Amino acid sequence: MAYVRKYSATFINRSLYWRIDHIKDTKNCWRALFGGSSVILCFSLVDDTFRVILPPDDVAKKAQYDRFDFDGCLGLIHCHARRRAHVDIWKRNEHNWIKTMSIPRLKGLHSSLYLAPVFFYNGTGEVLLHEKDTYPGRGKDVFYLYSLEKKTFRKFKIEGMEQFTFHIHMAYTPSLTSLTRCRERDSRKGLGQSHIVNSY
């Protein structure tokens, strides 16, 4: 199956997720999916199967959205009106989407920027947000804490952040399509796991 993927995969709970909008049919021609709307392609590393996940019904056609790990579930960040309005945060449970919160637009934020959740503080009712750019490589290491109760923002400074690079750590074994099975086999043999470090 050939498809157009404009974004890198997101790894969540033993599955890989891509955002796609075109697929190649049996006549080797590119065809838009669902009238040009972007969908999410999921590949399970447990049973080596693909499936297509439609975004929430409230997410408009050709809308801007990103995927992220929401407590081990697929999370979706829906940025309204080309990222110039509020942001909705969705979580997928089993076969349904649940809107968990809406974050208003921060006044003074450049039109190309939006705020993406990094961490949810359940005890304080605050969300740690990271300032991201629609253009890769132009985002800044700027963070905010948003209070769900007070609906207020405050800048969150991390001392020395400019000296470090963000990394993603994930377990790695030689075979992508049988990652889980290889890990189980290696654990029985008492072999250790190596790690890949991706910088961005």
pTM for the predicted model, two decimal places: 0.62
- For the residues of the chain, what is the DSSP string, one character each? --EEE-S--EEETTEEEEEEEEEE-TTS-EEESGGG--EEEEEETTTTEEEEEPPPTTS-TT-EEEEEEETTEEEEEEESTTTTS-EEEEEEETTEEEEEEEEPPPTT--TTEEEEEEEEETTTTEEEEEEEESSTT-----EEEEETTTTEEEEE--TTGGG---EEEEEE-S-STTHHHHHHHHHHHT---EEEEEE-
Average pLDDT over residues 7-19: 86
Average pLDDT over residues 20-44: 71
Structure confidence at residue 167 as a pLDDT band (50, 70, 90)? very low
Burial class (CB in 10 A: 0-12, 13-18, 19+), 9: middle
Place of tokens 């304080």: 124
Q: Which amino acid is at 4?
A: V
Domain ranges of the chain: 168-200
Structure confidence at residue 193 as a pLDDT band (50, 70, 90)? very low
Most confidently modeled of 45-59, 81-95, 132-146, 177-191?
A: 45-59
Structure tokens, 42:
């999921």
Asked whether the predicted pLDDT for residue 91 surpasses 90, the reply is: yes
Place of tokens 């039109």: 111
Q: Are 79 and 94 in contact (CB under 8 A)?
A: no
Asked whether the predicted pLDDT for residue 171 surpasses 60, the reply is: no
pLDDT of residue 49: 93
Asked whether the predicted pLDDT for residue 194 surpasses 80, the reply is: no
Q: Are 3 and 24 in contact (CB under 8 A)?
A: yes
Asked whether the predicted pLDDT for residue 6 surpasses 70, the reply is: no
pLDDT of residue 3: 42
Asked whether the predicted pLDDT for residue 109 surpasses 90, the reply is: no
Place of tokens 């790690």: 195
pLDDT of residue 54: 87
